[in-house]
Amino acid sequence: MDLFVQRIFDGLSEGSIYALLALGIVIIYRGTGHLNFAQGEMALFCTYIVYQMGEWGFAIGWALVVGLVVGFALGAVTEVGLVRPVAKRSPFAVFIVTIGLFRGLNWLDGAIWGDQVLPNSAKSTQQQFPSLFPNKPTDFWHILGANITIQSIGILALVLVITALLFLLFNKTKLGLAMRAVASNADSAKLVGIPTHRVLMMSWGLAASIGALGGVVFAGVNHTVNLGLMFSVFIYASAAATLGGFDSPGGAVVGGLCIGVIQNLVAGYADKWVGQQMKVGVAFLVIVGVLLVKPSGLFGTSKVERV
């Protein structure tokens, strides 16, 4: 029983990180109607920025602020310079652009910081990538027979706070209502005076900032940053967004937590067939299963088209 509870809590901890990245995917889709396949690499670039700030002597708090600002700027510039011009011609072209951006950012990270695992103890002034929450071996609570780290609880609390803030944004602010209106019908939104271009830019910027936060949190959990850090996380986040619904921030969180718990239970109790190295297969199965049974996700809105 203790092992089962431990795996549940471990899954919730991992799922919280997936939920952060899934929130970014959902915000862009909810605000623009597009899927950003470069979400993980945008987060990775900002994580490298936070690492570099640490190398220059900045505390993790200030470094995170810079990373979030860079993330917002990166998302806004991407929308204005890449997505907006091609979206006018073909929605499918946005898909191609984000894949190209995925490859381009990964190449840029390697060109600037190399392909090694950082921090490199031989060259770096940092022993390990800093965590936003206490992560010493003694920083844990014993709950229901399981050892729950303070870091895990902090990450889960962070996700819940961000979800609550997004709920208020989408339902109680003019910007959030404008984002929903633009996603629903951009032409109609223009007719009622909504600055659609500004709203789209804000959507991409906000999503990139939240993704950057997810990247920094994940790097802090692993104590390192490298070129492949966010690849599997993006797959899990995509599965979470698919499960919860691409237009539901709350669904993204629930989906992320569910993916984390499911993959930990499957890898733990079916380790002969799955194991830790094949957990990504669970995410693919979830994506396929949801698309076959309920394409809109558990909390997504089904589209109704007149024929």
Per-residue pLDDT tens over the stretch 129-174: 988 888 777 767 777 777 788 888 899 999 999 999 988 988 888 8
The angle formed by the CA atoms of residues 14, 23 and 262, to the nearest 5 degrees, is: 35
Tokens of 205: 């910027």
Residue 151 CA to residue 148 CA, distance in Å, equals 8
| pTM for the whole structure | 0.90
What angle separates helix 231-244 from helix 39-55, to the nearest 10 degrees?
Answer: 130
Confidence of residue 38 (pLDDT cuts 50, 70, 90): very high
In the three-class reduction of DSSP (H, G, I as helix; E, B as strand; rest coil), residue 257 is classed as helix
pLDDT score of 32: 77
Q: Looking at the predicted structure, is the pLDDT value of residue 9 above 90? A: no
Bigger pLDDT: 214 vs 296: 214
Q: Is the pLDDT of residue 217 over 80?
A: yes
- C-alpha span between 96 and 38 (Å, rounded): 10
Higher model confidence: residue 290 or residue 302? 290
Residue 145 CA to residue 166 CA, distance in Å, equals 34
Average pLDDT, the chain: 85
The pLDDT of 79-107, averaged and rounded, is: 88
Contact 210, 28 (CB under 8 A): no
Neighbours of 199 (CB within 10 A): 22
pLDDT above 70 for 307: no
| N- to C-terminal Cα separation, the chain | 54
Output the DSSP codes for 201-248. HHHHHHHHHHHHHHHHHHHHHHT-B-TTTTHHHHHHHHHHHHHH-TT-
pLDDT of residue 306: 47
- Model confidence at 277, pLDDT cuts 50, 70, 90, reads low
